Structure 1
Amino acid sequence: MKKSSLILFLLIALQLAAKSQTNEKRPNILFVISDDQSFAHTSFEGSPFVNTPAFDKVASEGIYFKNCIAGSPGCAPSRSAIITGRHHWQNEQSGQHAAPWLKKYVPFVDLLSANGYATGRTGKGVSPFQYARNEQDSTWRETDAAGISHSEIQYKVGSAEDVRPSTKVSNLNYFENFKYFMENVKGENPFFFWFGSTEPHRDYELDSWKRTDKKLSDVEVPGFFPENAVIRGDMLDYAVEIEWFDNHLNQMLKYLEEIGELENTIIIVTSDNGMPFPRAKANSYEYGIHVPLAVRYPKDFPGGRVVNDLIGFADLAPTILELAGTSDVGMMPITGKSLVPILESTKQGVVDESSKYAFSGRERHSSSRYLNWGYPQRAIRSEDFLLIWNIKPDRWPAGAPQRIKPGTANELLPMYGVDEQGVYHDGWAFTDTDDSPTKTYLIENRLENDVNLFFRLAHDKRPEYELFDIKKDPDNITNLIGDIRFENVEKELKMALLEELVKTADPRVVGEDKEVFDSYLRYSPMREFPAPGSEN
């Protein structure tokens, strides 16, 4: 062998050895995210009607974050914040529901892949976004920002292996797809895997809970709903889907333990936004933006802790990059702050005194208003208070109460989507709220004295600002704006919110075109609505 060839051979061998040593030191990361689950609905948090042993294991053996605030009360912008480390309003189309994902918004997963991590996902990734369809979409990203999908293994409907608790849960076998990735894709590399459940997103099989040991009396009904069997049953069907998600997480944890990888794997479990019910999902109230978050890695993170620091979704990308020993070079400037010092601390309660606020917001959700307008909101959450800025208070927060009949030029469907027999029809009104038995009940019984307040809480127009005392009013019923006792709190939160929006160049505040979010094309089904003020 020539001397030059020998030197080249030795260099390659040294590089491979160094890479192998690095990989042995670097942790695996399993990122787990449910679709539409509010903070209150884990058994670790104390829910009496939801049983989540896998989440509870991660939370009890790791760190449970008491105040995790999603990037948005809607999935696409919230997932955009996770993957880029930026508020969704910083990401143009790539932070908006059903819009194109631009190439320049590089997700942290790409950097992990370039740095020796085996990456993949199963289930829902970073969506709904429109990715490149052909060469004309040259500025758009080609693949899902969460990584390459491994979702081929499915339950065969009606087979003995089909143990799904409901006909409406996904037929994807999330665990088996993860196992396939581990056995056929991972190789000798450390891994980052994104498990994106589509549960408990709607719709649900009605009364699926009746095949379980659940009881209507177990349900804790939020204060913005009336207490009756319809709402309780709807929430139990929601619980069935959360538990299915948790079941697959449990299988993954057991598998990692069996193959000796659990203790070298950082487990991160959260949800993208709150539960798919009126006044929750697509609303910046507690049940729309406050989500579960737990992180387990006993090797380096002292466990058994409950942390009260305010955590925002933009904090997750810099955290994961630091844990993986990966630079953020190549990404757009990151807004979030790494949580590693909190994870490595031994403290409980408030660990980082500078972590005073978390931020959230929304623009467009579904197609729900004239010309596809959204309902822009920005929110700031402290440990004790929530301030919401409803930027367009003249718009309907849950979507217009009346829409144009499909296939006609201007024929209107009935107000509130209710026909002459008093029956509400799915998709006829308030379409920013997922159709459900709860939504139907509120609309059809809106004239009843004991329901009217709840109907109005979910659907009425709102003032420009809302302020809530989280500890005394966790259901966000009593708006404290204008109450002299909270004048200083209101002033502090408004100032802090504005400072963050200016610092992050939110177009709603500092942009030349403050309406730019309403101009982005939507690549999902559209509805037509009458111009504001022209409803019957």
Structure 2
Amino acid sequence: MKTLLTIPFVFILIFLIGCSPEDSEVKKRPNILFAISDDQSFAHTSFEGSPFVSTPAFDRIAREGVYFRNCIAGSPGCAPSRSAIVTGRHHWQNEQSGQHAAPWLKKHVPFVDLLDANGYATGLTGKGVGPFRYARDENDSLWRATNAAGIAHSHIKYEPGTPGDERPADKISDINYFENFKYFMENVKGDKPFFFWYGGLEPHRAYEQDSWKRTDKNLSDVVVPGFFPDHDIVRGDMLDYAVEIEWFDLHLQRMLEYLEEIGELENTIVIVTADNGMPFPRAKANSYEYGVHVPFAVRFPENFPGGRVVDDVIGFSDLAPTILEITDTSSEGMLPITGKSILNILRSENEGAVDPSREYVFSGRERHSSSRYENWGYPQRAIRSQDYLLVWNMKPERWPAGAPQRIKPDTKDELLPLHGIDENGIHHSEWAYTDIDESPTKSYIIENMKEEKVSAYFGLAHNKRPEYELFDIKNDPYNLTNLAGDVRFEEIEREMKEALREELTKTDDPRVVGPDKEVFDSYIRYSPMREFPEPDDTLLEETLR
């Protein structure tokens, strides 16, 4: 009898001896650190080769992990782009929850909620999924109450004027991102795996002008995009932008070092990207390369073979299904996901073109800021392959950068000067073309719009555009030569138009399938509003001759 009783014990003992520490570690669920900067184009990391931006943290993730050469944001604006990330859907599928400064509806459940229900500790610091209006009280019963990226931990701040305030420029956010992440790890996470959203508010404007002069940066190092005039004002503006990118990267570096110190880095999937392109004319709020093409790298050496550069086109709607698959989390409770997981690419040992099924990726925009008559937007849809970009400007009669003339605040119909230029020749950014962020570059181009060396750049950023634009990305990275209508590219244009319309139809884009094709312009905007006159371009056309 005693011998029989010892048999189960022997089996248990053998089982326990056979389970090494390494085996239990393999079963440990991975953490995820998701780092997203605010307004950074793909070209502006030192890994990509930028000579005036230093990003050692991003470079490490890209060098030791997988660098995606063709990641396209969901939109060239922050709110719709971030909406695509957490829902796995194109922004035009998400009603108000895909539009700038509109309410976030409860039914658009983000993947973060499902991770939380699946045993993950979730949280964010800095900018989450926004700008959206979340529920203010019980009257907003259809609206979500908390940020779609998680519960915010942004209470640890820099104190201006104190020895601990290390910020290199006075327009940088006072949120101490790293210390808030550390607080989350030590006071919130507990013994759970974590998903943490690090949302830097940099390099979103405003910038402290000439903050770069307190660094070792030089104007001569700047690579000026081909859609800007090469002038010291522009170069200095780009260096101020670089200062803010490096601040975002510094806090990421500290997070990586901390995770390494506590032994969690190797069990943490680190994903680094940006929500859309640089806040300059013809970049942010435009579906061109410098508006939607963003940096993207993933590191997880245990499972994702590193040191690879991937050429496959991927989009922001692909991130939710990827993270759900990685964490073995069901998508039940979310609206149907449109994106496709990239886990097969991450686990592959190949580089270059890995997944032949990834022929195209899609993006688009609607209303960005309050910039036109009756709060109209500038609807665009875009399709991108590895080699070409096709942009559909759905309302080509509208001004792409916003109306060139605004009604003076606190008056009924008194107009401010055309182009926002006062009687002294000084440009006021809030007076015209307000889909472009206020900046020295914007003002320089507008104030000098009639000079021979500048006029073409003014047109690129502000003039009306044809309904379709097609660009050869490899040979025209700045998207300066429209190939739409060129017989040499007729077949490519036809195929891309068909693929774009097929995707928009399949995903029930109201702009294409209705029933209300103008619904996006009807959503209430919960941000400051501007008033504009009904479009009448006669006077403007005279001034541009």
> Under TM normalisation by the shorter chain, which class is it?
over 0.9
Aligned pairs, number: 517
How does 1:7-406 map onto structure 2 within 5 Å?
Answer: 25-406=28-409
Tell me, which stretches of 5 or more residues in structure 2 are unaligned?
A: 1-23, 540-545
Alpha-carbon distance in structure 1 between the residues aligned to 2:267 and 2:137: 40
The amino acid across from 2:500 in the alignment is L
The amino acid across from 1:442 in the alignment is I
1:441 aligns with 2:469: no
Q: Deviations over 1:53-103 (max 9, x none)?
A: 000000000000000000000000000000000000000000000000000
Alpha-carbon distance in structure 2 between the residues aligned to 1:72 and 1:22: 39
Alpha-carbon distance in structure 1 between the residues aligned to 2:183 and 2:209: 33
Alpha-carbon distance in structure 2 between the residues aligned to 1:487 and 1:530: 39
1:482 deviates by: 1.1
Alpha-carbon distance in structure 2 between the residues aligned to 1:325 and 1:257: 25
The question of whether the paired residues in 2 share the 8 Å contact of 1:68 and 1:293 is answered with yes
Alpha-carbon distance in structure 1 between the residues aligned to 2:269 and 2:256: 11
Q: Deviations over 1:295-322 (max 9, x none)?
A: 0000000000000000000000000111
SS of the residue 1:522 aligns to: coil
The question of whether the paired residues in 2 share the 8 Å contact of 1:120 and 1:150 is answered with yes
1:426 deviates by: 2.5
1:397 deviates by: 0.2
1:22 deviates by: 10
1:511 deviates by: 1.4
Which structure: larger Rg? Answer: 2
| Map of 1:422 onto structure 2 | 425
Alpha-carbon distance in structure 2 between the residues aligned to 1:227 and 1:75: 28
The question of whether the paired residues in 2 share the 8 Å contact of 1:24 and 1:190 is answered with no
Q: Deviations over 1:474-505 (max 9, x none)?
A: 00000001111000110010011011001101
The amino acid across from 2:64 in the alignment is E
Alpha-carbon distance in structure 1 between the residues aligned to 2:446 and 2:344: 48
The question of whether the paired residues in 2 share the 8 Å contact of 1:23 and 1:189 is answered with no
SS of the residue 2:429 aligns to: coil
| Map of 1:528 onto structure 2 | 531
SS of the residue 2:482 aligns to: coil
| Map of 1:8 onto structure 2 | none
SS of the residue 1:55 aligns to: helix
The question of whether the paired residues in 2 share the 8 Å contact of 1:370 and 1:528 is answered with yes
Alpha-carbon distance in structure 1 between the residues aligned to 2:271 and 2:514: 35
Change (3 A) 1:229 1:273: same
Tell me, which stretches of 5 or more residues in structure 1 are unaligned?
A: 1-20
Alpha-carbon distance in structure 2 between the residues aligned to 1:384 and 1:408: 49
Alpha-carbon distance in structure 2 between the residues aligned to 1:283 and 1:309: 22
SS of the residue 1:295 aligns to: strand
* Residue 507 (structure 1) aligned to one of 499, 507, 510: 510
The amino acid across from 1:511 in the alignment is G
The amino acid across from 1:109 in the alignment is V
SS of the residue 1:427 aligns to: helix
SS of the residue 1:148 aligns to: coil
1:468 deviates by: 0.3
The amino acid across from 1:448 in the alignment is E
Percent identity over the alignment is 74
Q: Deviations over 1:372-392 (max 9, x none)?
A: 000000000000000000000
The question of whether the paired residues in 2 share the 8 Å contact of 1:275 and 1:287 is answered with yes
SS of the residue 1:25 aligns to: coil
Provide the TM-score with structure 2 as the length reference.
0.94
Provide the TM-score with structure 1 as the length reference.
0.96
1:162 deviates by: 0.7
SS of the residue 1:319 aligns to: helix
| Map of 1:11 onto structure 2 | none
The question of whether the paired residues in 2 share the 8 Å contact of 1:23 and 1:190 is answered with no
| Map of 2:453 onto structure 1 | 450
1:24 deviates by: 5.4
Alpha-carbon distance in structure 2 between the residues aligned to 1:31 and 1:390: 32
The question of whether the paired residues in 2 share the 8 Å contact of 1:26 and 1:325 is answered with no
Q: Deviations over 1:382-439 (max 9, x none)?
A: 0000000000000000000000000000000000000111110130000000010000
Alpha-carbon distance in structure 2 between the residues aligned to 1:393 and 1:176: 47
Alpha-carbon distance in structure 2 between the residues aligned to 1:333 and 1:389: 25
Alpha-carbon distance in structure 2 between the residues aligned to 1:477 and 1:64: 27
Alpha-carbon distance in structure 2 between the residues aligned to 1:171 and 1:535: 46
Alpha-carbon distance in structure 2 between the residues aligned to 1:401 and 1:137: 36
Q: Deviations over 1:235-294 (max 9, x none)?
A: 000000000000000000000000000000000000000000000000000000000000
1:25 deviates by: 1.9
Change (3 A) 1:200 1:535: farther
Alpha-carbon distance in structure 2 between the residues aligned to 1:290 and 1:64: 13
The amino acid across from 1:199 in the alignment is E
